[in-house]
Structure 1
Amino acid sequence: MGKLLKLRHLYVDRCTLLRYLPKGIGSLKSLQALDWPFKFESDDEALKLGDVGMMDQLQGSLEIAWLGKEDDESEMEKAQLGNKEHLSELKVWFHVARGEQRKGDDEIVKAMQPHENLESLSIGYCHGTTESLYWISTLHNLRKLDLYYWRFFEYLPPLGKLRSLEILEISGMDKVKKVGVEFLGREQEEETLFPKLKRLRFSDMSSWKEWEGITKDSSEMITIMPRLSSLEFVGCPNLKALPDMLYKITALRTLGIYLSPTLQYEYRKGVGKQWHNIAHIPNLYIDK
């Protein structure tokens, strides 16, 4: 396989009994499409994540699965994702494990730093912290972001400066109790935050109690989520209320609240204390 130097497309996704790809594939510098999900392999003959370091022509989607082994940090560094300017989508998930925080996940995420051209990013089951995603603000073309089951996140990363972001899904952040202004990523007195965001979804946020918006003094100088059309909460049982900044979004057409009893009570149609703040939204889906 390593001699097919002009090979551009390799599809093996439906080869369900194939244990691994041969290591020689790592020398295919012209390869543009590879639908193989990279997983930890102990066999010396297997293609590893680090072997894609020379594949700077890769396009489309790249999947990396079951991270969390001792040598995954070095493999991630060798992969040089930052050089792969043609990749549009990156999907990464770590070993599904509960209990104590797994050491090493932070360093793996730091070494992951993809090229700024990336359009879609999904990372799940990571035991890392918010600081490991310091590079997220460099992804100026990112349109979709999905962060799920980062069980040791204590606060959300600053995402408001992602100028191309249209879809944001956050779920399973067990330790997040408060979403504050750091989530907006405000840097200037006058600016627009989340300028293109259209869909925002929170789910399985069991400890989340408070969402703090901007102060009234800043509300006239800051524009937040001007294009948001869909907002959804699923499994946020302790969240008390939504920030005032959300009520001012004229583009908001759909609000869904499910399995979130406190919100459901406060926003009950006609009788909830907060009902008047959402009554103008055309499409309301609130569990009774």
Structure 2
Amino acid sequence: MVTELPSGIEKLVNLRRLKNETWSLFYIPKGIEKLTGLQTLSEFIISGGGDYESRACSLEGIKNLNNLEGGLQIRGLGNVTNMSDGKMKEVLKNKKYLTGLSLQFDKGMETPRRGSVTWKIAEEGESCEDYEVVLEAIQPPAELEGLSIEYYAGRTFPSTWKTSLTKLKSLCIMSCPNCKNLHPLGELSSLEELTLGWMKNVKKMDNEFWGIESGTSSSSSSSGFFPKLKQLRFYVLEEWEEWTYENTKKGEEEEHIRFMPCLATLEITSCDRLKALPDSLLQRTTLETLEICACPILNERYKEGTGEDWSKISHTPTIVNWL
């Protein structure tokens, strides 16, 4: 297993592809920033200090690698310190060929045994301000089509994303223990696939969680929330109990907000406490596949023939319901 790249990597001036599919590297060495012809870099690791600090390249080292294309994973974002917002804004700014990005906010810490690193993930209740500052400043490139975020300890996501990530089609948010809402994400105009998992602090999903304000007359309400979303997946939300959605009102007239108007696939796995699904989604003629797995309350509620709400989903073409 490869844990370190050789020193003098800056001498490989003709290098175009650097891939490591074992995810075993402890850090990326200094000198990588000089390989401006790189087109493929599978992962960039930010060191947690220790003996590796003097040899490791900082996050700023990605700045001039503007020929990168395809996907890039950045690990160790929890280690980012003492870097100005201005410098962070430049890191991904000109990556116009980058279409996929994975941001992992874990922390790499050298263990007492030399040559070993322990990766620590964010925990519930951990201070979130630093994480929010980093995520706000990084600014994913505008051409991005796929984005994954893991181990992020912040409560919210950057409000600027709804206008900057206009081509984003797929979003995956995993292991974000302090997440309170998804306010700006419902206005991502091109988003087609959303996956949420292992979010310990989510107990209720309602209008506030999605960022739908009562009485709003903003442009978001007229265009809808998640206007192009086709696939929605939830995994292992252990505390999630309630999922509601209500039309907002403007004055005395009811204002119908189109919420996930194109939803075709809904998958829910290992959400033990969830009691019911929103009727407004189940009655949608666009819903083609409903999959409920290892959700005991839902499995019973929507059980074929005998469940109290079976009639609400029976029209769905494909139904998977198993414990």
TM-score by length of 1: 0.87
Contact 2:17 2:41 in 1 (8 A): yes
Please show how residues 117-266 of structure 1 align to structure 2 within 5 Å.
Answer: 117-130=143-156, 132-137=157-162, 138-186=164-212, 187-188=218-219, 189-215=221-247, 221-266=256-301
Deviation at 1:68, TM superposition (A): 1.5
Deviation at 1:2, TM superposition (A): 3.4
Paired letter, 2:279: D
Whole-angstrom CA distance in 1 between matches of 2:292 and 2:23 = 39
CA RMSD of aligned residues (A): 2.8
Please show how residues 90-101 of structure 1 align to structure 2 within 5 Å.
Answer: 90-95=101-106, 96-98=121-123, 100-101=125-126
Percent same amino acid among aligned pairs? 35
Counterpart for residue 42 of structure 2: 35
Aligned length: 286
Counterpart for residue 10 of structure 2: 2
Deviations 1:32-78, CA, capped at 9 Å, x for gaps: 22223323253323333211112222211111113212527559717
Contact 1:160 1:183 in 2 (8 A): no
Counterpart for residue 140 of structure 2: 114
Counterpart for residue 273 of structure 1: 308
Paired letter, 1:236: C
Contact 2:26 2:45 in 1 (8 A): no
Contact 1:65 1:94 in 2 (8 A): yes
Residue 81 in structure 1 maps to residue 81 in structure 2: no
Cα distance change of structure 1 residues 17 and 150 upon mapping to structure 2, 3 Å threshold: closer
Paired letter, 1:89: G
Whole-angstrom CA distance in 2 between matches of 1:18 and 1:88 = 23
Give structure 2 stretches of 5+ with no counterpart: 1-8, 107-120, 213-217
Whole-angstrom CA distance in 2 between matches of 1:72 and 1:113 = 18
Counterpart for residue 60 of structure 1: 70
Whole-angstrom CA distance in 2 between matches of 1:16 and 1:160 = 32
Paired letter, 2:318: N
Give structure 1 stretches of 5+ with no counterpart: none
